[in-house]
Chain A
Amino acid sequence: MIDRALDLELGFGFLSGPGGFNFSNQWLTGYDSNDSRLGAYGVGILNTVRLVLIGIVLTTILGVFAGVARLSDNWLVSRLATLYVETIRNTPLLIQIVIWYTVVFLQLPKIADAVNILDVFYLSNRALALPSLAANGAFGLWAIFLAIGAVAAFILRKWLLRREERDGESLHATTWGLALFVVLAVVTFIATGTPLEPNTPSLHVTDVGIRNITGGLQVSPEFAAVLIGLVIYTGAFIAEIVRGGIQALPRGQDEAATALGLSGYQRMTLIILPQALRIIIPPLTNQYLNLTKNSSLAVAIAYPEIIWVGTTIVNNIGRAVPVFLMIFATYLALSLAISVVMNSFNRRVQLAGR
């Protein structure tokens, strides 16, 4: 039982004291238990942010695909998408995350007998190792060239688009812009002397006979379980939003596009989705905020995001009030950041056609 006086004690002085606990998951940082509690909280923020950012990207892709699939002319595909949405949406996210963790990822073999796929993927219950790219000293220079290439490609595309509008003829502005960027990226990649090197994981036997996986991108089963759970759960809600947005458009839009001879893919990407986006974005923003708040469920399987760090500190030394103030401030900041980005995006989409 925590002492009441400690709980009510205000002030943030305790943050400079040593954390006294270690992290099973760290990203870009090397926190150890002697570092400050503020540092520990920072690691928690990074873990939450990583989860939220990757989650938002993946769940958007999944949700758009499932939403479009629900409206597919192919009966089987639309039924399958409905099955996905109705199953996932009506089951508690927490149970799904616990299932991904205990039934899927913890059941993988021990690290010594890791599942080896083509010598580049290693799956075990301690780490999932994926091939990745490692930057070396030349990366900074190449990054500068990349930025220059992006600006050049953007300017080229803008210029071509203006000519397209003037002449009324397609000049493939986006394709040329992309091509310029890719060519510049490849040329400078070779010129700066391969700033990125492939980094594939490999299974090693250490001197004392312990087998271990080194190299590559190593993901913990906790992170994988929470990420997959969040992505699949939120994707089901986004699918419904996408479906609703598309269905809200008058049928004439699709029919007129068909009459103009556009293919199914062109109809979807040029006519339907850009208009549907206006309806989709506000509720989509809401789902992103939900995903951010739902990332807190990671605490149930001890993935060290901010709630886990916060409750660990409270369990150690009390100070519940300032700790929860920090937690709420963090969620508020994250929500605001997402809202600001999505609102500016929303304004652009709304202006585009009106």
Chain B
Amino acid sequence: MNAPNALGVRGTRTVTPVSYRARRWARTQLFSSPANTALTVVAVTLLAFVLYTMLKFVFVDADWTIININRRLIFLGRFPQSEEWRVWPPMWLAMGLGGLSYGLLSRGSLRDLVWLAAAVVFILGFLAHGMNGLLFGGAVMFSIAGYGAGRMAGNRPQLRPRLGTVAIVGWLLIIPFTVILISAFGGVKPALWGGLLLNVLLAVIGIGVGLPLGILLALSRASSLPVLKGVSTAIIEVTRGGPLIAWLFIARFVLPAFIPDALQTDVIVNAMIIVSLFTAAYVAEIVRGGLQSIDKGQVEAAHALGMGAFHVTFFIVLPQAIRAVIPALVSQMIALWKDTTLFAVLGFTDALGGAQAAYSQSEFIGRQKEALLFIALLFWSVSFGMSRLSQRVEKALGLGER
């Protein structure tokens, strides 16, 4: 009990290891040399300044009524109130699937729970309001249930792969489901989509159309037919040659002139087509890298087994190629999610457009900070969540380690 035990058996630690370790840590990490000490001082000052400014702003100086009053504008834009119910089922599904994926991939650390709790507090604190509170509460319940199911499956080997399949199929089906539920059966036409909902739908449609189209472009670029190869190379390179904002202006100024009157659609539909093509071009380049990383032996072995060209491409080469480029594809999805804000430049009321409309109201002049930081946080949390999830997927698939 009194003698320090070298083996560290429980109950015999009479020295105060925590403070000792803390001191040693500080000495080696923060004050190992005069230069290092100076760096520490600078870093602490900077950190203190940033923290003080942020906290003082968030809790003292800021007036968040601009968000409370304009919640609808920022989240839904001009989406008709009577059709609002169409938004909820996809949201519940997405929250449940998000929780399930997170639970399946997590190692059950305390950090996960802290993140989830922070997300719940954030959602309830800012978004919930009256009747919406119940519906949001439902979304939170779905995500918690999904997370719980995913975590529980971690201990049951026979359940885990099945739930994994459910998650993957769910994510694939949620895209058409969302688009159909919102627009079909007397739904809301795209010109009325707005707010953060518009950003989400643009990203979802962009990736939903862009991913398969990009894979096809990559395959045709790798093809041995010169015409197919030439055309797809030209499409990819021309698309990547200009910035997205130039393409969006083309959707507005040029495209309508080329479409016959009978087929004229809203500018926003043109812009969606353009965003999907733009995404496809970038996806194609990523997938091409994956295709090039596949060993020739794989194709030869598959041919030796008597597989035809179609089978070799879609069951041997493509799955391996896509698996190798998952991190890059997620980066592209994050880039697309962030790029959906460009629709505000075109004059659409997406989340950024909604925020700008909110701070041009006469009673909220001078409240730009609150509105812009709020939507910045919204976009940040989705991007950050996606990048964390992709790191988990990489680890689960064992990418980058052989």
Contacts and interface: CB of A to CB of B under 8 A. Distances in A.
Interface in A146-175: none
B246 to A, nearest CB: 6
Given A90-B380, A94-B345, A328-B246, A103 B372 contact: yes
Interface string A6-32: 011000000000000000000000000
B376 A321 contact: no
Contacts of A75: 25, 29-30
A14 to B, nearest CB: 15
Given A74-B30, A90-B384, A335 B257 contact: no
A324 B375 contact: no
A214 to B, nearest CB: 30
Contacts of A95: 341, 352, 372, 375-376, 379
Given A80-B43, A90-B334, A307 B241 contact: no
Contacts of B238: 328
Contacts, number: 130
Contacts of B25: 75
A296 to B, nearest CB: 4
A239 B380 CA distance: 18
B253 A76 contact: no
A8 B256 CA distance: 10
A349 interface: no
Contacts of A73: 29, 32, 36
Contacts of A87: 380
Contact of B243 (A8, A77, A80, A293): A293
Contacts of B39: 72, 74, 76-77
6 contacts: A7-B253, A76-B44, A90-B379, A94-B338, A95-B375, A331-B242
A77 B345 contact: no
Contact of B380 (A91, A103, A320, A332): A91
Contacts of A297: 243, 245, 342, 345
Instruction: Specify which of B243, B250, B338, B384 lies most central, judged by the most chain A CB atoms within 10 Å of its CB.
Output: B243
Contacts of A91: 338, 376, 379-380, 383
Interface in B334-363: 334, 338-339, 341-342, 344-345, 352, 356, 359
Contact of A299 (B46, B245, B339, B383): B245
The secondary-structure label for the interface of chain A is: helix
A186 interface: no
Interface in B206-224: none
Contact of A7 (B242, B257, B352): B257
Contact of A92 (B29, B32, B339): B339
Interface of B: 25, 29-30, 32, 36, 39-40, 43-44, 46-47, 238, 241-246, 249-250, 253-254, 256-258, 334, 338-339, 341-342, 344-345, 352, 356, 359, 368-369, 372-373, 375-376, 379-380, 383-384, 387
Contacts of B338: 90-94
Of A2, A328, A335, the most chain B CB neighbours within 10 A belong to A328
Contact of A94 (B44, B344, B368): B344
Given A90-B380, A320-B257, 12 more contacts: A76-B30, A90-B338, A91-B379, A91-B380, A92-B352, A102-B359, A103-B368, A294-B243, A307-B246, A311-B253, A324-B254, A328-B246
B13 to A, nearest CB: 25
Contact of B249 (A93, A307, A335): A307
A42 B291 CA distance: 42
Nearest to B366: A107
Interface in A58-108: 72-77, 80, 86-87, 89-96, 98-99, 102-103
A293 B282 CA distance: 14
Contacts of B250: 320, 324
Interface in A306-321: 307, 310-311, 314, 320-321
B282 to A, nearest CB: 11
B379 A332 contact: no
Contact of B352 (A76, A90, A98, A293): A98
Contact of B246 (A72, A89, A98, A296): A296
Contacts of B242: 293, 327-328, 331-332
Interface in A279-312: 293-294, 296-297, 299-300, 307, 310-311
A119 B383 CA distance: 44
B388 to A, nearest CB: 10
A251 interface: no
A354 interface: no
Contacts of A332: 241-242
A296 B247 CA distance: 11
B40 A74 contact: yes
B376 A7 contact: no
A7 B254 contact: yes
A299 B253 contact: no
Nearest to B36: A74
A98 B372 contact: yes
Nearest to A2: B253
A4 B342 CA distance: 25
Given A74-B29, A74-B39, A293-B243, A90 B387 contact: yes
A324 B252 CA distance: 12
Contacts of B258: 8
Contact of A86 (B344, B375, B376, B384): B384
A52 to B, nearest CB: 12
Contact of B253 (A86, A93, A314, A328): A314
A296 B243 CA distance: 7
Contacts of A300: 344-345
Contact of B43 (A74, A86, A99, A311): A74
B288 to A, nearest CB: 15
A329 to B, nearest CB: 9
Given A7-B254, A307-B246, A320-B253, A94 B341 contact: yes
A115 B375 CA distance: 30
B383 A307 contact: no
